[in-house]
Structure 1
Amino acid sequence: MKNMKNIQNQIKKIISKIMDIKKEEITETANIFTDLQVDSLDIIEIAMAIEEKFNIEIPDTVLEKFNTITFIVEYIQKNKK
């Protein structure tokens, strides 16, 4: 569980930096496309930062499903090397 919280915090930090919003404004269940106004270019930048941070690959087909922090954390946990 601690690892999950750690991943959540790191994801929030990445998104807040790229989107220039406060980390506290990002909830685990917020839809990052509609609630946080992430567009297709932003999601690519976020995905690249996540790939680098967690040493994973994120296929384009998965990117469109990256709609909540919870989904992203679960994806990372399943695919982390």
Structure 2
Amino acid sequence: MASQEEILEGLANIVNEIAGTDVEDVQLDKSFTEDLDIDSLSMVEVVVAAEEQFDVKIPDDDVKGLRTVGDAVDYILKAQG
């Protein structure tokens, strides 16, 4: 089970690979769409990569609620059980 820091680091690397965003810019309070320029298509790629990396399932209906990096980190923490 990954810690909050490990999840944040993993998401930062995923966002960097998909959107070219600097890893340092991916912080808990950042909005995927407004701050990190992640569009809906890129968000799907982020979710798929996060599911694979952290061995969790994120249903499409739940993706809409992941507005910030912190939302995603909290969701993954809970999904890990």
Normalised by the length of structure 1, the TM-score is: 0.90
RMSD: 1.4
- Per the TM alignment, residue 16 of structure 1 is displaced from its structure 2 partner at its CA by 1.2
Q: Does 1:32 align with 2:32?
A: yes
What is the CA deviation profile of residues 34-55 of structure 1, one whole-angstrom value per residue up to 9, with x for unaligned ones?
A: 1111111000000000010011
Distance across 2 between alignment mates of 1:48 and 1:11: 11
- Runs (5+) with no aligned partner, structure 1: none
Q: Does 1:80 align with 2:80?
A: yes
Please name the residue that 1:20 is paired with: 20
Please name the residue that 1:63 is paired with: 63
- Per the TM alignment, residue 27 of structure 1 is displaced from its structure 2 partner at its CA by 1.8
Q: Which amino acid aligns with 1:39?
A: D
> How many residues matched?
80
The runs of 4+ residues in structure 1 deviating greater than 3 Å are none
- Runs (5+) with no aligned partner, structure 2: none
Normalised by the length of structure 2, the TM-score is: 0.90
Please name the residue that 2:46 is paired with: 46
SS at match of 2:62: helix
Identity, % of aligned positions: 28
SS at match of 1:43: helix
